[in-house]
Amino acid sequence: MGFFENLFHKKENTEAVVLIDISTSSVAGAYATFVAGAQPTILYMKRLPVEVHDKEQKTRAMLRALKLLGDTLIREGAPSLLRATGSGRADSVLVSIDAPWQETSVRTEHFEQNEPFVFTREMVAAALEKTSTAPPGKLLADESVIGTTLNGYQTNDPYEKEANRAAIIVLTSLIDRRVAESIKEVIRGVFHTKDIFPIAGSSLRYQAMRITFPHERDSLIIDATSGEVTSLSLVRKSLLVNTTEVRNHTKNAALWAKSVADALKDLSSRYPLPRTVFLLAHEPELSLLREALDAEKLERFWLSDNPPKVVSVLGSHVSTLVRQTTTSLADLSLLLMALFRYNRS
């Protein structure tokens, strides 16, 4: 690409990012550009299956598919980036990693003093530094503050305000360290960059869903995009209060739906369930999973006569927030990755 980079000058203030989504069933990648004040733009996207050979470990099959995906992105996608920005080189890589190689957890950190105090970003940073530890064999990939309360009231603008007590809700991404290093090694070999940022897929998609549907303060997110597990995230008053995971039964939608129903039954015994349910899945499987959920008659877990509203989330729900210039079928996971990355920047 060096010859072409000398011919064209890269557009100023444009950041080019490679987005990579990894699960046990498939890997996907995209070239996206980010400019302050404008929608993120996806220029190229591709999804490839992970084909596991006889007696082969899933990790090895995934890494082989990742290398193939990277080569495809360079060969087919980089020219799109060159035409759009004047450079075929990406500035960084964001990697979303799903189970069984990732874990997410939620915790609450409390701040309380004898006298009123001013709540600051520095206080939050110090608290996270003190408590942010990863168990042996795990990489602490990301910690995101997803909710803040001052004096018991939720606020989206908490800093530099006086309070008697405060609390933050922290969403943590842990990734298997060996797998994370192997993934980085493959990516460095393809894209020749050290700026690689991994995050747990379920954490990323939850945060992107909050941006996509900002007015849904109470919801249940059923995320079946991972090849291994389905995560159920319960959101009340815009705060994540519970996460549960159930195993995916990829060849039996009815069995999968029963596992989700069992999890909902347990959840309903501890929390009132919200009226809105979001279902996330890759679009080729979405209709089948939705039919299986409908057959389970989930409304029996709601203590009212009004059935819940189940929303099958499509790429079109995100298309008003993320621009796509490629003619490829919209990939929900990659669109949510672009939205997450733009919000973080």
Q: Is residue 206 part of a domain?
A: no
What's the start-to-end Cα distance of the chain, in Å? 27
Which residue in 95, 285, 101, 270 sits closest to 196, CA to CA? 95
Q: Is residue 329 part of a domain?
A: yes
Q: Is residue 2 over pLDDT 70?
A: no
d(CA 101, CA 103): 7
| Residues 81, 194 share a domain | yes
Q: Is residue 209 part of a domain?
A: no
| Residues 92, 10 share a domain | yes
d(CA 321, CA 278): 18
Q: Is residue 207 part of a domain?
A: no
The whole-model pTM stands at 0.88
| Residues 125, 41 share a domain | no
| Residues 44, 112 share a domain | no
Q: In this predicted model, what pLDDT tens digit does every residue of 40-81 receive, in sequence order?
A: 999 999 999 999 999 899 999 999 999 999 999 999 999 999
3-class SS string, the chain? CHHHHHHCCCCCCEEEEEEEEECCCEEEEEEEEEECCCCCEEEEEEEEECCCCCCCCHHHHHHHHHHHHHHHHHHHHHHHHHHHHCCCCCCEEEEEECCCCEEEEEEEEEEEEEEEEEECHHHHHHHHHHHCCCCCCEEEEEEEEEEEEECCEECCCCCCEEEEEEEEEEEEEEEEHHHHHHHHHHHHHHHCCCCEEEEEHHHHHHHHHHHHCCCCCCEEEEECCCCCEEEEEEEECCEEEEEEEEECCCCCHHHHHHHHHHHHHHHHCCCCCCCEEEEECCHHHHHHHHHHHHHCCHHHHCCCCCCCEEEECCHHHHCCCCEECCCCCCCHHHHHHHHHHHHHC
Q: Is residue 187 over pLDDT 60?
A: yes
The answer for residues whose C-beta is within 8 angstroms of residue 205's C-beta and 6 or more apart is 96, 221, 223, 225, 280, 333, 336, 340
- Tokens for 7? 């011919």
Residue 12's pLDDT band, with cuts at 50, 70 and 90, is low
At what angle are helices 58-72 and 177-191 packed, to 10 degrees? 20
Q: What is the mean pLDDT of residues 224-253?
A: 84
Q: Is residue 166 part of a domain?
A: yes
Q: Is residue 9 over pLDDT 60?
A: no
CB count in 10 Å sphere of residue 81: 23
Cα 20 off chain centre by: 11
| Residues 188, 67 share a domain | yes
Q: Is residue 208 part of a domain?
A: no
Beta bridge partners of 19: 30, 94
Q: Is residue 252 over pLDDT 50?
A: yes
| Residues 284, 161 share a domain | no
- Give the per-residue pLDDT at 8: 41
Range of the domain at 63: 2-99+177-201+318-344
| Cα-based torsion angle of the residue sequence 273, 173, 197, 139 in order, rounded to the nearest 10 degrees | -170
Indicate the average pLDDT of the chain.
Answer: 90
| Residues 126, 19 share a domain | no
CATH number, position 185: 3.30.420.40
Q: In this predicted model, what pLDDT tens digit does every residue of 106-145 receive, in sequence order?
A: 889 999 988 999 999 999 999 998 887 888 999 999 898 9
Domain count, the chain: 3
- Tokens for 23? 């699960």
Beta bridge partners of 271: none
Q: Is residue 15 over pLDDT 60?
A: yes
Amino acid at 226: S
Q: Is residue 251 over pLDDT 80?
A: no
